[in-house]
């Protein structure tokens, strides 16, 4: 039983990170129906941006978590947002009226370019880079379940980020405009909404969340590499589909479910760890077969 | 005071300074100066081709320190220069072509300039020849560009008719002669390019060829050639086939290029299968290499390899069939549940399937020997046509007094494989089934209201594509003599997809060209090994932006891409209210 509870906690932590990334997928998909394949790379670029700033900090500052953490997060968010907005402007915007397959292939190209840029141009980027832990090492216990402080930190940050996102989407004028554009871009334009700006904002918001997830992932595993966005991105997209693509609550729920499933399957199925990365896809296929709309999604059948 | 007419540019450039406008007004040239600068530029480039580019010898290839002869990369300036000089007489129509050719000159000069100063540790290593090559090509670019600006301003120019005029062809006998001369000329170019060793020369050659064909294409040259080839297709194909069959006899028993061409052939065959799925039916398959891998593993397991878990040997033709069938069945299994859904879902499911396949092969130690893979796959043996001893593909042969390396056997096999795939593709594409596929691709709802069952035809396409990949995979296992999970990663799927997209969706020459580019260029560009993937990703982006229909497009497909562009917000920016941020349910139009 303790083992189950322990694994459950691990699953929630993993799921919180998947959820953060999945939000970016789901929002972009909701607005321009594009599977932004490069979003996983935005997550990776964010983590590297944070690490770059931390490396550049003087030692006295770098050791102080209260000063260093905000700096790392700011740098990560800034790098990721800049990259995402640039990508949107340069690669996706010219393709607004192209067939979807064109946009998706472009997104794959962007993903490769970002990965390779980090691999080639980040100092020693070919090898995994160690990432500072910063939050106090050690655990606290609830009964027999031990929870590392980092994990608690991750869940708290993810929770507040998601709360802020809800507030942003529902209580601000820009959020309202986002919802309008997602319903009908042409009419939104007629109502005086700058559709291009809203799309850019959507990419930026997704990038901010991905950057947070990137830094959190680095803090948890103490290591980042240029390849980490690929699998994380795929799983997060799976989480978004699982929750119902285009649905914000669904993305978070899907992320949590996927994280818990992955951890549990790895623990309780014999030889589970060798198949660690398979469960997400199996979940995906099962969901698509039995409930293609995802858990909270609307109708997603083919539409002209 | 006359009222200023509202102009579109006035509305769009309200917030920002129009930089390109500013530059143009600074750089604008009057008529006489254009010719003066143009001729000066041409003379500079001409001089540069015969002048030293490197100031001291440090191993930069092509004897670039010597003057008086156009050695090394310098020689590739000359054909472009000839083209540019001819284009002077076609102005103003040839202005676009001139700009492209001048850009080619600039790239050659710029690349070698950078490379020389890189390898020679500093700009000191660059001699005056390279400087005037840069200067000359910039002048030429300027001169031609100023013609274009004038046209953009709408002041004069009635040119730019390229692509709109009806293509005029000579008499059939001349057509045949042109093809008869053109195809060998193309092949000689190809063999020449294969022989270019140093990367500086190869890059310059590519710049030269690329800029030359870009320039010619703006003059409508390729409309003309494609019309010509369409008329004389059978003849051109026979010529190409003869050339392909003769190639091994020209290699002096050396197997290197044969081996490279074999892998091009195998991948081109798989690309044709993918072309059915992506090009004809418009489905995005991101796990295609898994089907190829299924074929390869089936073949490896059934051929009694040195390191195998199954000790049986099945005749190859049977293995080919089994591989194709198994891959096709798996294709149905994967496709059936997902093809009902929207396209992107198929993309992620196939991607997931590809990963599942790889991980399964990695973990199934009992059958596939896990990460070690199955090695030591024996050479193919098929019943001989001439004698009782079976023909072993591992043996070298002597035909017509020319000794052929053992790779020649596989080379011929690959040609047969490719031809088989190509025939299958073109017969299917021109049949009722092919038309149904294209109808689904263009508009699924319209197709289904015309009586096409989309799910059934999509499934057929997906499964056929999968079994063609399986067939190609069975051959590939024997060629590489070993299979392991590392060969079937996501990147390989993307590489195949990119080959199809780059070459041209829905065409056979496109698949061949795409596979050729992706498997030949890395052989030639070893100096760029490290930035290979970066260039490849950038190429995908640029291609999708400027030529989504590929280098050799299918006509119908091209029309489709161009038509979509003209609509305001067709394509993927279509409001469906799917971002369910609201608590209320958005009204949905026409869902099923």
Over range A121-141, report the average pLDDT.
82
Token pair recorded at residue B424: 């299958």
Is residue B416 in some structural domain? yes
Percent of chain B at pLDDT above 90? 7
Q: For residues B136-157, give the mean pLDDT.
A: 75
Cβ-based neighbour number of residue A270 at 10 Å: 6
Over 80: is that where the pLDDT of B529 sits?
no
Q: What is the SS3 assignment for B138-183?
A: HHHHHHHHHHHHHHHCCCCCCCCCCCCCCCCCCCHHHHHHHHHHHH
The answer to the question of residue B8 being in a domain is no
Nearest CB neighbour to A246, from listed B349, B540, B579: B579
Arithmetic mean of pLDDT, B373-382: 72
Q: Cα–Cα distances in Å, from B516 out to B262, B500, B513?
A: 10, 11, 5
CB-based contact, B588 to chain A, within 8 Å: yes
Q: Which helix (H) or strand (E) holds A270?
A: none
Structure confidence by residue, pLDDT tens digits, B268-282: 898 999 988 888 888
| Residues 36-75 of chain A whose Cβ lies under 8 A from any Cβ of chain B | none
Scan residues 495-524 of B and list those with Cβ closer than 8 Å to A: 497-498, 501
Does B439 fall in a domain?
yes
Residues B438, B391 share a domain: yes
- Evaluated on CA atoms A51, A56, A61, A63, the torsion sign reads positive
Q: Given the structure tokens 């051959």, which residue do they identify?
A: B475
Whether A229 contacts chain B with CB within 8 A: no
Q: Domain count of chain B?
A: 2
Q: What is the ipTM of this complex?
A: 0.86
Whether the Cβ atoms of residue B311 and residue B379 lie closer than 8 Å to each other: no
In a domain, B568, yes or no: no
Do B174 and B62 reside in the same domain of the chain?
yes
Residue B186 lies in a domain: yes
Question: Cα separation of A181 and A201, whole Å?
Answer: 12
Query: For A150-177, how does the pLDDT look when each residue is reduced to its tens digit (9 = 90+)?
Result: 888 889 989 999 899 989 988 999 999 9
CB atoms within 10 A of CB B310: 13
Provide the pLDDT confidence category of residue B557 given band limits of 50, 70 and 90.
Answer: low
Nearest to B393 by CA among B410, B377, B411: B410
Contacts of B102 (CB under 8 A, 6+ apart): B41, B84, B137, B140, B141, B144
Q: Is residue B107, in this structure, part of any structural domain at all?
A: yes
Q: Which helix (H) or strand (E) holds B312?
A: none
At B66, the pLDDT band (50, 70, 90 cuts) reads confident
Which of B223, B241, B262 represents a domain boundary (last residue)? B223
Domain that holds residue B330: 252-488
**pLDDT greater than 70 at residue B242:** yes
The answer to whether residues A43 and A213 touch, using CB atoms and an 8 Å cutoff, is yes
| Beta strand A223-224 pairing with A129-130 | antiparallel
State the residue for tokens 């017509």: B400
Q: How confident is the model at residue B8 (pLDDT cuts 50, 70, 90)?
A: very low
Chain A contact present for B486, CB below 8 A = no
Domain-embedded: residue B576: no
Asked whether residue B585 is domain-assigned, the answer is: no
Measured distance CA(A3)–CA(A267) in Å, rounded: 9
pLDDT at B17 over 70: no
Return the ∠ at Cα A166 (arms to A160 and A170), rounded to 5°.
Answer: 150
* Assigned token pair, A174: 């820009």
For A115, name the nearest residue in chain B, comparing CA atoms only.
B534
pLDDT at residue number B326: 92
* Residue A166 neighbours by CB under 8 Å, 6+ apart: A248
pLDDT tens by residue, B427-440: 988 899 999 998 88
Token code pair at residue B222: 């390729």
Residue B366 touches partner A, C-beta closer than 8 Å: no
Give the number of A-B residue pairs with CB atoms closer than 8 Å. 235
pLDDT score recorded for residue A301 = 38
Chain A CB contacts of B550 under 8 Å are none
Where is average pLDDT lowest: A27-31, A225-229, B518-522?
Answer: B518-522
Band (pLDDT 50/70/90 cuts) for residue B261 is confident
A289 contacts on B by Cβ (under 8 Å) = 337-338
**B580, B587, B588, best to mutate vs chain A, most A CBs in 10 Å:** B580
Chain A residues with beta carbon closer than 8 angstroms to that of B353: 281, 285
Q: Lowest-confidence range among A164-178, B4-18, B249-263, B298-312?
A: B4-18
Domain co-membership, B102 together with B170: yes
In chain A, the residue whose alpha carbon lies closest to the alpha carbon of B490 is A230
Is residue B354 domain-shared with residue B435, that is, in the same domain? yes
B157 and B266 in a single domain? The answer is no
Helix ranges (DSSP H) in chain A: 2-32, 39-56, 59-63, 65-87, 100-121, 149-171, 173-183, 185-190, 195-221, 228-243, 248-268, 279-290
User: Is residue A104 less than 8 Å (CB to CB) from chain B?
Assistant: yes
- How far is residue A18's CA from residue A14's CA, in Å, rounded to a whole number? 6
Alpha-carbon gap: A91 to the closest alpha carbon of chain B (Å):
7
Split at pLDDT 50, 70, 90, the class of B185 is confident
> What number is the average pLDDT over the span A122-149?
81
Query: Does residue A145 contact residue A6 with C-beta atoms inside 8 Å?
Result: yes
Give how far Cα B25 sits from Cα of B18, B19, B153, Å. 11, 10, 11
Question: Is the Cβ–Cβ distance between B82 and B103 less than 8 Å?
Answer: no
Question: Are A299 and B588 an interchain contact pair (Cβ–Cβ within 8 Å)?
Answer: yes
Indicate yes or no: CB of B342 within 8 angstroms of CB of A301. yes
Question: What are the CA-CA distances from residue A300 to residues A29, A297, B483, B488 (Å)?
Answer: 12, 8, 39, 31
Structure token digits, residue B7: 């102009």
pLDDT of A4 > 90? The answer is: no
Determine the residue of chain A that is closest to B583 in CA distance: A170
B304 has pLDDT over 90: no
Name the domain boundary from B454, B471, B488: B488
Q: What's the burial of B550, exposed, middle or buried (CB within 10 Å: 0-12/13-18/19+)? A: buried
- Contact yes or no for B341 and A241 at CB 8 A: no
Compute the distance between CA of residue B297 and CA of residue B342 in angstroms, rounded to an integer. 31
Q: How far is A241 from chain B (nearest CA, A)?
A: 9
Question: Which of residues B450 and B26 earns the better pLDDT score?
Answer: B450
Same domain, B269 and B417: yes
CB of B490 within 8 Å of any CB in chain A? Answer: yes
What percent of chain B clears pLDDT 70, i.e. is strictly above it? 82
Q: Which of B127, B120, B123 is nearest to B74 (CA)?
A: B127
Q: What is the DSSP string of B442-476?
A: H-HHHHHHTT--HHHHHHHHHHHHHHHHHHHHHHH
Residue A271 scores a pLDDT above 80:
no
CB contact under 8 A, B571 and A100: yes
Residues of chain A contacting residue B343, judged by C-beta atoms under 8 Å apart: 100-101
Q: What's the pLDDT at B561? A: 66
| Residue located via tokens 């005037």 | B132
In angstroms, rounded to a whole number, what is the distance separating the alpha carbons of residues A207 and A212? 9
Tell me: pLDDT of A1 over 80.
Answer: no
Collect all residues with Cβ–Cβ distance below 8 Å to B34 and sequence separation of at least 6.
Answer: B143, B146, B147
Q: Helix or strand or coil: residue A279?
A: helix
Q: Which residues contact A254 (CB under 8 A, 6 or more apart)?
A: A18, A19, A22, A238, A239, A240, A241, A242, A243, A244, A294, A295
Q: Which of the listed residues B468, B488, B508 is the one where a domain comes to its end?
A: B488
CA-based nearest residue in chain A for residue B446: A304
Sign of the torsion angle spanned by Cα atoms B389, B390, B394, B396: positive
Any residues with CB less than 8 A from the CB of B71 and at least 6 apart, and which? B62, B63, B64
pLDDT score of B157 more than 50: no
Tokens at B112, concatenated: 């070698």
Which residues of B460-567 form beta strands (DSSP E)? 482-483
Residues B258, B218 within the same domain: no
Per the prediction, chain B carries an average pLDDT of 78
- Count of helices and strands (H, E) across chain B: 23, 6
| Burial (0-12, 13-18, 19+ Cβ within 10 Å), B233 | exposed
Distance between CA B500 and CA B45 in Å, rounded?
37
pLDDT class of B378 with cuts at 50, 70, 90: confident
Residues B317 and B464 in one domain: yes
Contact B288, B493 (CB under 8 A): yes
Measured between CB atoms, does A200 come within 8 Å of chain B? no
User: What is the three-class DSSP state of B483?
Assistant: strand
Q: Which residues pair with B54 in a beta bridge?
A: B126
Q: Are residues B203 and B264 in the same domain?
A: no
Residue B588: per-residue pLDDT: 38
- Do B120 and B213 fall within a single domain? yes
| Distance (Å) from the alpha carbon of B574 to chain A's nearest alpha carbon | 7
- Which residues, including other chains, have CB under 8 Å from residue A173's CB and lie 6 or more apart? none
* Same domain, yes or no: B392 and B457: yes
Note whether B160 and B300 are same-domain residues: no
């Amino acid at each position: 039983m303790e083992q189950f509870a322990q694994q459950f906690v691990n699953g929630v932590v993993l799921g919180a990170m998947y959820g953060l990334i999945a939000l970016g997928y789901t929002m972009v998909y909701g607005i321009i129906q594009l599977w932004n394949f490069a979003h996983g790379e935005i997550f990776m670029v964010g983590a590297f941006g944070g690490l770059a700033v931390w490396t550049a900090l003087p030692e006295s500052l770098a050791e102080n978590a209260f000063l260093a953490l905000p700096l790392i997060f700011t740098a990560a968010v800034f790098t990721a947002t800049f990259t995402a907005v640039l990508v949107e402007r340069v690669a996706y915007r010219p393709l607004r009226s192209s067939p979807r397959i064109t946009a998706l292939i472009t997104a794959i190209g962007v993903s490769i370019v970002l990965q390779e840029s980090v691999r080639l141009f980040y100092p020693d980027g070919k090898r995994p880079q160690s990432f500072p832990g910063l939050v106090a090492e050690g655990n606290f216990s609830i009964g027999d379940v031990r929870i590392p402080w980092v994990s608690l930190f991750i869940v708290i940050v993810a929770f507040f980020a998601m709360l802020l996102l809800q507030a942003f989407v529902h209580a601000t004028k820009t959020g309202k405009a986002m919802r309008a554009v997602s319903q009908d871009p042409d009419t939104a334009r007629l109502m005086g909404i700058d559709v291009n700006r809203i799309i850019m904002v959507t990419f930026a918001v997704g990038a901010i969340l991905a950057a947070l997830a990137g830094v959190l992932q680095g803090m948890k595993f103490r290591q980042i590499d240029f390849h980490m966005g690929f699998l994380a991105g795929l799983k997060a997209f799976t989480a978004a589909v699982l929750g119902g693509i285009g649905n914000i609550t669904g993305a978070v729920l899907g992320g949590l479910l996927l994280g818990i499933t992955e951890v549990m399957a790895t623990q309780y199925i014999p030889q589970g760890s060798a198949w660690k990365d398979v469960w997400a896809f199996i979940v995906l296929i099962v969901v698509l077969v039995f409930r293609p709309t995802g858990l909270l999604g609307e109708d997603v059948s083919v539409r002209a | 005071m006359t009222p200023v007419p509202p102009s579109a540019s006035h509305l769009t450039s309200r917030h920002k300074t129009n930089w390109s406008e500013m530059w143009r007004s600074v750089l604008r040239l009057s008529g006489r100066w254009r010719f003066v600068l143009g001729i000066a530029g041409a003379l500079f480039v001409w001089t540069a081709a015969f002048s030293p580019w490197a100031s001291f010898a440090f191993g930069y290839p092509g004897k670039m320190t010597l003057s008086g002869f156009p050695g090394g990369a310098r020689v590739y300036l000359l054909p472009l220069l000839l083209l540019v000089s001819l284009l002077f007489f076609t102005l103003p129509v040839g202005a676009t072509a001139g700009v492209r050719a001048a850009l080619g000159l600039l790239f050659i000069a710029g690349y070698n300039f950078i490379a020389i100063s890189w390898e020679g540790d500093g700009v000191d290593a660059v001699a005056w020849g390279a400087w005037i090559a840069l200067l000359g090509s910039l002048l030429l670019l300027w001169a031609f560009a100023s013609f274009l600006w004038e046209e953009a301003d709408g002041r004069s120019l009635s040119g730019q008719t390229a692509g709109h005029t009806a293509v005029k062809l000579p008499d059939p006998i001349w057509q045949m002669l042109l093809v008869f001369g053109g195809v060998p000329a193309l092949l000689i170019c190809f063999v020449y390019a294969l022989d270019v060793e140093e990367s500086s020369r190869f890059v310059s050659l590519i710049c030269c060829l690329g800029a030359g064909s870009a320039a010619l294409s703006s003059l409508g040259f390729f409309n003309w050639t494609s019309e010509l080839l369409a008329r004389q297709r059978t003849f051109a194909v026979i010529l190409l086939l003869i050339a392909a069959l003769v190639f091994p006899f020209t290699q002096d028993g050396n197997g290197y290029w044969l081996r490279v061409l074999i892998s091009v052939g195998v991948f081109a065959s798989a690309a044709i299968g993918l072309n059915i799925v992506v090009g004809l039916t418009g489905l995005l398959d991101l796990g295609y290499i898994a089907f190829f891998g299924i074929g390869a593993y089936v073949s490896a397991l059934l051929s009694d390899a040195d390191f195998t878990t199954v000790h049986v040997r099945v005749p190859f033709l049977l293995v080919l069939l089994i591989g194709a069938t198994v891959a096709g069945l798996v294709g149905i299994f994967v496709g059936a549940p997902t093809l009902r859904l929207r396209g992107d879902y198929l993309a992620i499911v196939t991607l997931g399937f590809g990963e599942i396949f790889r991980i399964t092969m990695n973990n199934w130690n009992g059958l596939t020997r896990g990460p070690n893979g199955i090695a030591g796959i024996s050479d193919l043996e098929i019943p001989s046509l001439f004698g009782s001893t079976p023909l072993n593909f591992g043996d070298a042969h002597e035909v017509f007094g020319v000794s052929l390396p053992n790779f020649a056997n596989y080379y011929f096999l690959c040609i047969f494989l490719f031809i088989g795939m190509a025939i299958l593709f073109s017969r299917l594409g021109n049949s009722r089934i092919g038309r149904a596929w294209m109808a689904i691709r263009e508009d699924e709802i319209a197709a289904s209201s015309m009586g096409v069952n989309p799910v059934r035809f999509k499934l057929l396409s997906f499964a056929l594509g999968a079994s063609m990949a399986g067939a190609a995979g069975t051959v590939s296992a024997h060629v590489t003599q070993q299979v392991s999970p590392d060969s079937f990663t996501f990147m390989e799927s993307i590489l195949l997809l990119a080959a199809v997209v780059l070459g041209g969706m829905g065409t056979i020459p496109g698949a061949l060209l795409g596979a050729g580019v992706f498997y030949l260029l890395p052989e030639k560009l070893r100096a760029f090994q490290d930035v290979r993937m970066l260039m490849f990703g950038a190429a995908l982006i640029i291609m999708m932006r400027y030529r989504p229909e590929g280098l050799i497009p299918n006509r119908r497909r091209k029309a489709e891409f161009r038509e979509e562009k003209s609509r305001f917000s067709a394509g993927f920016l279509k409001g469906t209210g799917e971002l369910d941020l609201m608590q209320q349910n958005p009204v949905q139009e026409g869902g099923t």
